[in-house]
């Protein structure tokens, strides 16, 4: 029995894409918590030792190898991003945050080049503007999302990623050009719709539709280098974010589980890039939000010689 469970765990890790999404989006639900299957292997290992089962111990090599292949590299030290790197911070600051000033100071403490925030409220916006003003003098706010930058911004505009089923006012995306010392890059900030776990499965249709709209926007972006920052309400393993993960690079190092802040189970706050490398991602200390801030290093690719 233990050997069969070990083999089944290995199968789910190695062939998670084969789990269908047609019923309750079970595939996406599995992929949201995929790294935690490593704990199943740990529990099985303990039981195998108690039972003194050599067969089960040998079988456990399968899920161990599968987990190491999928996630082991994320635990390795990050490579030197070089001199063409940007420090970026992504944070859903929460519209129920009672201390936005402290949250703003915590984000600035990471010495970022860019800070993206979601769930901005009209009352908190002036606080963030004041807190960020010295370190990040350039900013753009569209609806409930904002981008603050150490470098000049241009061409800032709202981004339409609203699912058709949402009828009320809803503005949770922006696009801006950032004029870095290494050239212009396009930066997207997005807050995709929330998902819910229900008895029928994972309710993610609006999130998936919004991800598709965002993916099309990135695909049509004329600037070569693109950085996406946002609360995407999904992990990079979740096939619901495939319109983005098939077009952009994700973090090479770091697990950085960001939600919920009290006991982080998954990283749904993402940093992705096109024609650039997200070398490392990490979480910052908790703020007044139910998300942890995520900081990343993004190594920009040198422009080709003319």
Q: Domain boundary residue among 54, 75, 96?
A: 75
17 and 66 assigned to the same domain: yes
Largest CA distance in the chain: 67
Residue 80 has a pLDDT of: 80
Residue at 19 is within a domain: yes
Q: Distances in Å between the alpha carbon of 282 and those of 178, 214, 239, 275, 285? A: 23, 24, 22, 21, 10
Residue 303 has a pLDDT of: 56
Its pTM stands at: 0.94
Range of the domain at 181: 85-300
Q: Domain boundary residue among 23, 53, 75?
A: 75
16 and 59 assigned to the same domain: yes
210 and 164 assigned to the same domain: yes
Residue 198 has a pLDDT of: 85
Residue at 12 is within a domain: yes
Phi, psi of 201 (to 5 degrees): 125, -155
Residue at 306 is within a domain: no
- Return d(Cα 130, Cα 197) in angstroms, integer: 38
Residue at 153 is within a domain: yes
pLDDT digit of tens for each residue in the chain (306 aa)? 999 999 999 999 999 999 999 888 999 999 999 999 999 999 999 999 998 889 999 999 999 999 999 999 999 987 788 778 999 999 999 999 999 999 999 999 999 999 999 999 999 999 999 999 999 999 999 999 999 999 999 999 999 999 999 999 999 999 999 999 999 999 999 999 999 988 878 899 999 999 999 999 999 999 999 999 999 999 999 999 999 999 999 999 999 999 999 999 999 999 999 999 999 999 999 999 999 999 999 999 865 544
34 and 157 assigned to the same domain: no
119 and 200 assigned to the same domain: yes
The total of other beta-carbon atoms located within 10 Å of residue 232's CB is: 27
- Find the CATH number of the domain harbouring 130: 3.60.10.10
53 and 98 assigned to the same domain: no
Residue at 199 is within a domain: yes
148 and 21 assigned to the same domain: no
* 3-state SS track over the chain: CHHHHHHHHHHHHHCHHHCCCCCCCHHHHHHHCHHHHHHHHHHHHHHHHHHCCHHHHHHCHHHHHHHHHHHHHHHCCCCCCCCCEEEEEEEECCCCCCCHHHHHHHHHCCCCCEEEEECCCCCCHHHHHHHHCCCCCEEEEECCEEEEECCCEEEEEECCCCCCCCCCCCCCEEEEEEEECCEEEEEEEEECCCCEEECCEEECHHHHHHHHHHHHHHHCCCCCCEEEEEECCCCCCCHHHHHHHCCCECCCCCCCCCECCCCCCECCEEEEEECEEEEEEEECCCCCCCCCCEEEEEEECCCCCC
146 and 270 assigned to the same domain: yes
Q: Domain boundary residue among 40, 75, 110?
A: 75
39 and 184 assigned to the same domain: no
Residue 306 has a pLDDT of: 44
Phi, psi of 290 (to 5 degrees): -85, 0
Residue at 80 is within a domain: no
The total of other beta-carbon atoms located within 10 Å of residue 287's CB is: 23
- Return d(Cα 89, Cα 87) in angstroms, integer: 7
16 and 93 assigned to the same domain: no
66 and 90 assigned to the same domain: no
Residues with Cβ within 8 Å of 247's Cβ and at least 6 positions away in sequence, in order, are 215, 218, 219, 274
119 and 17 assigned to the same domain: no
What's the total number of domains in the chain?
2
Q: Distances in Å between the alpha carbon of 174 and those of 9, 63, 78, 190, 220? A: 40, 41, 29, 7, 15
- Return d(Cα 263, Cα 266) in angstroms, integer: 9
């Amino acid at each position: 029995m233990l050997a069969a469970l070990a083999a089944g765990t290995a199968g789910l890790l190695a062939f998670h894409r084969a789990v269908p999404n047609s019923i309750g989006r079970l595939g996406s639900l599995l992929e949201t918590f995929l790294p935690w299957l490593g704990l199943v292997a740990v529990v099985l290992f303990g039981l195998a030792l108690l039972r003194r089962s050599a067969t089960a111990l040998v079988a456990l090599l399968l899920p161990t190898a599968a987990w190491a292949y999928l996630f082991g590299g994320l635990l390795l030290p990050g490579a030197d991003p070089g001199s063409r790197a940007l420090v970026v911070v992504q944070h859903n600051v929460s519209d129920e945050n009672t201390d936005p000033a402290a949250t703003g100071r915590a984000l600035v403490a990471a010495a970022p080049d860019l800070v993206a925030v979601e769930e901005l409220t009209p009352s908190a916006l002036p606080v963030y503007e004041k807190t960020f003003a010295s370190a990040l003098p350039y900013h753009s706010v569209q609806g409930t999302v904002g981008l603050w930058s150490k470098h000049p911004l241009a061409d800032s505009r709202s981004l339409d990623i609203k699912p058709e089923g949402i009828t009320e006012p809803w503005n949770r995306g922006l696009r801006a050009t950032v004029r870095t010392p290494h050239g212009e890059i396009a930066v997207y900030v997005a807050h995709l719709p929330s998902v819910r776990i229900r008895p029928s499965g994972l309710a993610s249709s609006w999130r998936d539709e919004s991800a598709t709209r965002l993916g099309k926007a990135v695909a049509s972006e004329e600037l070569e280098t693109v950085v996406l920052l946002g609360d995407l309400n999904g992990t990079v393993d979740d096939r619901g974010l495939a319109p983005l993960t098939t077009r952009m690079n994700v973090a090479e190092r770091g697990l950085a589980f960001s939600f919920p802040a009290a006991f982080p189970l998954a990283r749904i706050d993402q940093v992705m890039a096109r024609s650039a490398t997200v070398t490392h991602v990490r979480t910052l200390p908790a703020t007044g939000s139910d998300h942890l801030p995520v900081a990343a290093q993004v190594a920009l690719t040198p422009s080709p010689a003319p």
